[in-house]
């Protein structure tokens, strides 16, 4: 177990190092990063002095090492927009985004687990087809449309939920539904197909033969084994879910990281984009690590692998 953890931690560190290189390289997307940081009418002397001040004259590896050194200390520079430290700006938004992301995943699980089971029990039937259609419907409607329709219905017409913002759980409900519906289709499909694989296995026949109730067979035997591809897919999908969260945050004016970073892109506020990308990668890598440990709980055979 310790060896497994060490290896996974090392791999995560390598990934984060790679991410920080990409984050660092983002600077060079703009043709001249120094010009991009300054107002359009800045004099050449100001450009030159900032260039030296920011260290762009040095060779690339030195620049990257310097960037990495500062990044590890949490210094991504200051936002070119508000002049506050970029990392602080991003970190202040993390709890809100995490709350939305997690409730979105919860909604997604509440939809996909029952639908996936129902579809797998009668493959090819109308139940199967309906379950899959319902799941796909949620995914097929672009998040921003669904969001605005929900706002129109529940906030503007019925007035039972707030239009936008954050604070109490009622603010979270509509955005979470939009995020959850977006990823429910993929999860339903994976659960259906992995359950179908499992349901044909010998130990299911044995369980049936010894007279267990259908509920015990499905929930106790099949689901537990069918969950492994499901969790893998969930982990794989995290970055995509985060992308969905970003759009949803903009729709609902929800004060999370996504809203911040979309503004940063519009303003070409590079330090904030960099800090966001790094924090997002850190979250994704940590959750993946956590899920790796969860595998051990679902399937004892994986513990030693």
Partner 1 sequence: MNQAWPLPAPSRRTRRVDRGLLIGSVLVGAIVLLALLAPWISPHDPLAQVLTDRLKPPAWLPGGSPTYLLGTDATGRDLLSRIIWGGRTSLEIGILSVALGALIGVGAGLLAGYRGGWLDLIIGRLADIQQAIPFLILALAVIAVAGSSILNLVLVLGAGSWLYYFRVTRGEVLAVRERPYIEAARAAGVGEWRILSRHVLPNIAGSIVVIVTLQIPQVILFTAGLTFLGLGVPPPTPEWGRLIYDGRDYLQTAWWLTVEPALVVVVFVLGVNFVGDGLRDRLDPVRSRSGR
Distance from C-alpha of 25 to C-alpha of 20, rounded to nearest angstrom: 8
Q: How far is the CB of 256 from partner 1 (least distance, A)?
A: 12
Judged by CB, which is closer to partner 1: 109, or 246?
A: 246
Q: How far is the CB of 261 from partner 1 (least distance, A)?
A: 6
Dihedral angle of Cα 108, 111, 114, 120, to the nearest 10 degrees: -80
Judged by CB, which is closer to partner 1: 23, or 166?
A: 23
Q: How far is the CB of 140 from partner 1 (least distance, A)?
A: 4
Judged by CB, which is closer to partner 1: 265, or 290?
A: 265
CB-based burial label for 227 (10 Å; 0-12, 13-18, 19+): buried
**The residue to which tokens 């303003």 are assigned:** 267
Q: How many CB atoms lie within 10 A of CB 178?
A: 29
Q: How far is the CB of 300 from partner 1 (least distance, A)?
A: 23
Distance from C-alpha of 124 to C-alpha of 131, rounded to nearest angstrom: 11
Give the interface with partner 1 as residue ranges (CB under 8 A). 11, 14-16, 18-19, 22, 26, 29-30, 121-124, 126, 128-129, 132-133, 136-137, 139-145, 148-149, 152, 185, 189, 193, 196-197, 199-200, 204-205, 208, 214, 217-218, 236, 239-240, 242-243, 246-247, 250-251, 261-262, 265-266, 268, 273, 276-277, 280-281, 284-285, 288
Q: How far is the CB of 82 from partner 1 (least distance, A)?
A: 19
Which letter, b or e, does each residue of 142-165 get, where b requires 16 or more Cβ atoms within 10 Å of its Cβ?
Answer: ebeebbeebbeebbeeeeebbebe
- CA 262, distance to chain mean position in Å, is 15
Judged by CB, which is closer to partner 1: 107, or 285?
A: 285
């Amino acid at each position: 177990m310790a060896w497994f953890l060490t290896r996974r931690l090392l791999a995560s560190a390598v990934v984060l190092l790679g991410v920080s290189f990409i984050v660092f390289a983002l600077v060079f997307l703009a043709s001249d990063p120094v010009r991009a940081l300054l107002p359009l009418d800045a004099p050449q002397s100001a450009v030159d002095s900032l260039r030296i001040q920011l260290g762009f004259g040095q060779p690339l590896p030195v620049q990257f090492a310097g960037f990495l050194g500062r990044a590890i200390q949490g210094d991504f520079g200051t936002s070119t927009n508000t002049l506050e430290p970029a990392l602080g700006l991003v970190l202040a938004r993390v709890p809100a985004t995490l709350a939305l992301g997690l409730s979105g995943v919860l909604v997604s699980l509440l939809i996909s687990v029952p639908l996936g089971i129902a579809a797998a029990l009668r493959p090819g039937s109308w139940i199967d087809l309906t379950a899959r259609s319902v799941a796909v419907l949620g995914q097929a409607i672009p998040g921003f449309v669904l969001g605005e329709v929900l706002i129109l219905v529940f906030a503007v017409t019925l007035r039972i939920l707030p239009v936008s913002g954050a604070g109490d759980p009622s603010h979270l409900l509509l955005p979470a539904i939009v995020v959850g519906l977006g990823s429910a289709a993929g999860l339903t499909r994976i659960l259906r197909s992995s359950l179908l694989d499992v349901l044909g296995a010998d130990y299911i026949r044995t369980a049936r033969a010894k007279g267990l109730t259908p509920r015990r067979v499905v929930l106790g035997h099949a689901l537990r084994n069918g969950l492994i591809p499901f969790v893998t897919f969930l982990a794989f999908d995290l970055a995509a879910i985060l992308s969905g969260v970003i759009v949803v945050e903009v729709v609902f004016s929800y004060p999370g990281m996504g809203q911040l970073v979309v503004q940063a892109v519009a303003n070409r506020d590079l330090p904030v984009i960099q800090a966001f990308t790094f924090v997002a990668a850190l979250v994704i890598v940590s959750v993946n690590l956590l899920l790796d440990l969860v595998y051990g709980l679902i399937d004892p055979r994986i513990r030693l692998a």
